[in-house]
Each structure stands twice: as C-alpha cells, then as structure tokens.
Structure 1
Amino acid sequence: MAKAFASQGDMADKKISFTEVGRDLWAFTAEGDPNTGVIIGDDSVMIVDAQATPRLANMVVEKVRSVTDKPIKHVVLTHYHAVRVLGASAYAASEIIMSDKARAMVVERGQEDWDSEFERFPRLFQGHESIPGLTWPTQTFAGRMTVYLGTRRVDLMHLGRAHTAGDIVAHVPDANVMFTGDIVEYHSACYCGDGHFGDWGGTLNAIKAFDVDAIAPGRGDALVGKALVGEAIENTRDFVDSTYRPAKRIAARGGSLKETWDAVRADCDPKFASYAIYEHCLPFNVARAYDEARGIDTPRIWTAERDKAMWNALQA
C-alpha cells in the first residue's frame, strides 16, 4: 500500500511537555513536533522559534504564563522554515530576530516553503487562516549578536551551515544552556532537504566545543546533562553521515537517484526507521544528498509540485 504523502497521515494530537532545562529556561516539546525554547530574564522573556501558526504559538504562551508574567519582548527564529516562523504574529509587540542569511532565504524561497510545508504537515497548520503572511524579522545579524534580558545575556550565533545555510543558536552563558534549532535533533529524523551535509559535522563540533549542560533541540525531548547532550550530538552526526556517505558513493560512480535511495535506506533504516518523521524526511534528504554529492552547493527550492514528484518517484 502506498504511503500517505509526507505527514498527511499523522493527524493524532501529540503530548506536550514543558521542561525546565536550566534556571528560568524551558523547552516546549511535543513528541517530535517542532520545539520552542523559552528564556526568562530579569525583566522580559525571549522565545526561540515560533511554531507554524499563531494558534500553536498561543499554546506556548499559555505555558510561559504558567511560570512568569514578564513581557515577551524578543522572538528569535533559528532559521526560515514555515513550521518555525509563521506563528510569530502571535507575538505582535516583540522584536523578531533572524540571521541575515535566514532573512535572505525568506526573500528567495519563503512563500514556496510555506506552500510546501502546508501540504506536508496539515496537522501543524490547523488555524492557518490567522497567519497574516510571511514572517519578516525586525532585526538581523551576520555572525553574532548579544541580547540582554536585564542582566541575563543571550548570545545568538551563526556557527556554520547545517540544517539550512542560515541556522543560528542561542546560548545562555550563566546557565551554560543552548537552544540549537534543527542543527541537533533527538530521536527524530533530521530534515536535510535544505541541508549542507559537508558542513553539518563542523557545525556540530562548534556546538560540542561549548560543553553545555543542556540543549533544547529542534525536535525531540529536552536534553539535560552532558551525557545526554553528547549522545544527541553524536546521534545527529550519525544520521547526517549515514545519509550522505552512501549518496557520495553512488554519485561518484555516476549512479542514479533511485540507486542512492536504495543505498541510503540500507544504511539508515536499521538505525533510524523508528524515529519521528523518518519516512516523511527520507525522499527530501536523499534528493538533497544526491545533489550535494554531485556538486550542487545551494539546495534547490522545494515547491509543493516538486515535493509530490519526488515523493512519487521514491516513496510511492
């Protein structure tokens, strides 16, 4: 029987968790759905990633209000993907911060990504009627930016390309906690359709060098304790490498995309088939790995039409 396209068959509600990962630092997680981070400072709150719709963002706000009544003044978006950014309008009075590159990707492919993800994730876009349009930052930066929430410092950094070309992380030095967006996942498949396989490992090394005490990853449970942090970083590395290594092997001998699909499945299925959104991600991951292995540095833009064609060519 043919698989339902992407996550169209996943309409079951997910269990929400709100986990403290450090002093006044929280991770909003939901069984492999996109996570949101919460950083509470002396005088205000920073949100890291805004969910797909204002309706979902308001579920985060409810959790925030269970622990603080301080105003939410900043929303940091770790990258440009629709499921991370389109809920930002729920924070109307907040500063919206992205990297320069992430904003450029909204310009280049933001509408296409919205249309694409809307088809892939119908459950995440319930209440989509309230989205006013593409999310645009009110402030951007290139390599590094520091925001003070009273005396609490938050360092926003672009450490390298990985999940996208514009990924950033948020590090809170006083607690030694990091919010990584989708650069790090935990028991959830990495989406690599906009990824940079050759750079991803170096970016993970840069995160590892901080030797943090906890990470709020892009998907999956909050990671508290150095052992769990290290496990998640290396598990993410293994996922990325296990996808790209067979793609490079097949591309080097002039093999086809379908041969690459078979080779990636042979390497990845035994280790990762049980992970959240694994089957969803696989065709997009294989297509991007095959492209990069053939020297295509900039990921091709995914559209709703290209999504379906790739799915039917590989997953059907």
Structure 2
Amino acid sequence: MPPANGAWAWLAPGNSWGWSNAGLISDGEESLLVDTLYDLELTDEMLAKMRDAEPLANNIDTLVNTHANGDHCHGNELVCGAEIIASSASAAEMAELPPEAMAAIVAMAPDMGEMGRYFLDCFGQFKFEGITFTPPTKTFEGELHLQVGDKPVELIEVGPAHTRGDILVHSPKDRVVYTGDILFIEGTPIIWEGPVNNWTEACRRIEAMDVDHIVPGHGPITDKHGVAAVRQYLEFVHEQARQRYDAGMSAFDAAKDIELAEYSAWSDPERIAVNVDSLYREFRGEQAASDVFELFARMAALAGYDVATP
C-alpha cells in the first residue's frame, strides 16, 4: 500500500516471527527498496506486486537492509543489479547466521522435542532452502545521504539496539520513515543486542521527526503514539528487570515474575525472556551474547511448551 506519493509500504499479513515489512521509494527514473523478506517466495511475491504498482520497481537501483535479521535480507539475491547498502555492523552480523544455518536448524527441529515444536511454530512456514547469501555491496557508519531522483533519503544508524547495526530510512520529502525492527507494532520487541538506551533514544529520534507515516519492521503503519508505546515498553522492562537484578533474582526467574499487564496482549510476550537476559548482561557489563538455543528454550517455556530450562 502507498503511504505517500512515490513511497510505498509492503505490510506482512502478521507481525510475529518472520512476518516483516518492507518499503519502496521512487522518483524520476530511480527507485530504492527498503529490505527484502524471509524467503525467496515471499520476496518474489512482494516484488511482483511492487512492479504492478510502480513501474520503477522493475529495475531497483538501491536496496537498503535495515539490519541483519534474515527476515529483512534473505531475499536480497532477487534484487538483481542493485547496490545493496547496510551499516558496517549489520554486514558483519549477517555473515554469522546465513540462510543455510536456518535451514539446518529447521531440518533438525522435528527431533528436538517440544523445543523443536516451538521453533517450527515460529519458523516452519518459511522456506530457507536454496537461498544464496547475498551480502551488502556498500557499508557505512553513522549516517549516509542518498538521492532517489530529486528526493533526498537519509540512512541513520541507531544501533546497536535490536541488533548490532540497526538503521532508519528517512525520506523527508515523502514525510515517511522506515524503521526496521526498531518498531514492533502490536508485537513484543526483542532485544538481541542492546543497550536498551540506544533503542529508546532511537524511538525518541523518530518521535522528533517531521513525518506523517511511520513504517515499522513488523505490524501496521503507525504514528508517534505507536512509537511511544514501544519506547514505554522498553523503559518498563528495563525498570522491572533492574529491580529484580538488584534483588538477586536470576534472569529467567525475573522474566517469569514480571507482570506484563497490558503488554501481555501484544504478540509473542514470551520474548520477555530474551529482553531480561539482555538487560542482565548489560547490567553486568558483559559483551558476549547468551546461547540462542537456551534463550529459545526459555521463550518456549513461557509460551506454554513443556521444555526443560537451564
């Protein structure tokens, strides 16, 4: 759907694991795509619909990946001939979990008991086989200013936050910002990296922008009230986790103990397990990430699966 003249949003049918949004900015004879999707079939469908709506999508000049998660870059190979831009931190992170790694995990999942069932419920509908890892061809740090026809487009690095190298894509002339996974609307944000203050500052930066349309990484197009809701969730979890950390509770016990109240209505509330773990690492000053399988086991347990947790 078009949020503005010459700026488009592709909205996924859901806002849970892997169902991500993308965008298209066009002007004159040029076009820029914001993100690809989790597999080739989904990306191909999106590109076909974009070509129907905007002829300039037939020859996309620039592809921007907002961050390293596969649901925002696994379809890169289908954007033939485009310059692919991401932050330097995102480019490095992309190489650490290529599509074939996800394919291998999904293949093993049926033999992993309840943990595997949770993983398949999250990711089993996506097709990771046959994807060719296609990394960025250009990277940057801080900010990068592009031109799409007569439109200036600003790439603004706000990570590490959700991941190591999150960026915003701002088209001032269209009064649109594409946020990647800095925004999950009606879904629970997940702090893979942090620090959380970077993320809340990114939200404040969006709230200060002179824009009419805010396209999140997951969920429906939103306004500044939606941005504030994400920021307030992060501030709430930070406060609650800090209280329990100071009281000597373990990260998982703290995640189980926090009463989410209105946030429990957001999709995937079990992500609180990852968020608290990341905050505890931040409180301890630790840089090393926790074991991903352990984190998924904790989320599965909170989601009601019969999973043993460390």
TM-score by length of 1: 0.82
Match of 2:254 in 1: 260
Q: Which runs of 5 or more structure 2 residues have no equivalent in the other structure?
A: 107-118, 306-310
Q: 1:244 aligns with which of 235, 238, 246?
A: 238
2:215 and 2:221 in contact (8 A); partners too: yes
Q: Which residue of 1 aligns with 2:113?
A: none
Shift of 1:179: 0.4
Alpha-carbon spacing, 1:313–1:44, altered in 2? closer, same or farther (3 Å): same
Q: Give the structure 1 partner of residue 282 of structure 2.
A: 292
Cα offset, 1:78, TM superposition: 0.5
Q: Which residue of structure 1 aligns with residue 203 of structure 2?
A: 204
Give the counterpart letter for 2:129 in structure 1: E
Query: Which residue of the partner structure matches residue 46 of structure 1?
Result: 32
Find the counterpart in structure 2 of residue 7 from structure 1: none
Q: CA deviation at 1:181?
A: 0.5
Q: Deviations over 1:30-81 (max 9, x none)?
A: 2212111111221122111111111111111122112111111211110001
**Alpha-carbon separation, structure 1, partners of 2:130 and 2:244:** 45
Whether 2:269 is the aligned partner of 1:278: answer: yes
* 1:97 equivalent among 81, 85, 91: 85
Matches of residues 67-78 of structure 1 in structure 2 within 5 Å? 67-70=53-56, 71-78=59-66
Paired residue type of 2:65: L
Which runs of no fewer than 5 residues in structure 1 stay unpaired? 1-18, 224-228
User: 1: CA distance between counterparts of 2:290 and 2:246?
Assistant: 24
What amino acid does structure 2 have at the position aligned with 1:38? Answer: L
Determine if contact 2:176/2:214 at 8 Å carries over to the other structure. yes
| Deviation per residue, 1:125-183 (Å, 9 max, x gap) | 23x22302x33100101111122222222111113432122110111111221001111
- Alignment of 1:31 with 2:22, yes or no, is no
> Partner amino acid for 1:129?
E
Are the aligned partners of 1:160 and 1:202 in contact in 2 as well (CA < 8 Å)?
no
Counterpart of 1:88 (choices 76, 81, 85) is 76
> Which residue is 1:186 aligned to?
185
The answer to whether the Cα contact below 8 Å between 2:35 and 2:64 also exists between their aligned partners in 1 is yes
The alpha carbon displacement at 1:301 in A equals 5.5
Contact kept in structure 2, 1:159 and 1:206, CA below 8 Å: no
Residue number in structure 2 paired with 1:62: 48
Note if contact 1:247-1:289 (Cα within 8 Å) is conserved in structure 2. Answer: yes
Q: Report the CA distance shift for 1:197/1:219 in structure 2 as closer, same or farther (over 3 A).
A: same
Aligned residues: CA RMSD: 2.4
Match of 2:212 in 1: 213
Q: Distance in 2 between matches of 1:73 and 1:252?
A: 51
Deviations 1:189-222 (A, max 9, x none): 1122333213211121122222311111111111
What is the count of residue pairs matched by the alignment? 285
What is the deviation of 1:113?
7.5
**d(CA) in 2 for partners of 1:58 and 1:245?**
42
Amino acid at match of 2:66: T
2:36 alignment partner AA:
A
Structure 1 residue aligned with 2:131: 131
Kept after mapping to 2: 8 A contact 1:247/1:263: no
Structure 1 residue runs of 4 or more that deviate by more than 6 Å after TM superposition: none
Provide the secondary structure at the position in 1 that maps to 2:253.
Answer: helix
2:160 alignment partner, SS class: coil
Structure 2 SS opposite 1:218: coil
Deviation at 1:106, TM superposition (A): 2.4
Rounded to whole Å, the distance in 2 between the matches of 1:44 and 1:123 is 36
Matched-pair identity in %: 26
C-alpha separation in 2, matches of 1:243 and 1:263:
12
For 1:52 and 1:218, locate their aligned partners in 2 and report how far apart those are by CA, in whole Å.
12
Q: Contact 2:26–2:149 (CA<8 Å) still a contact in 1?
A: no
Which SS does the other structure have where 1:249 is aligned?
helix
Query: What is the identity, as a one-letter code, of the residue corresponding to 2:283?
Result: A
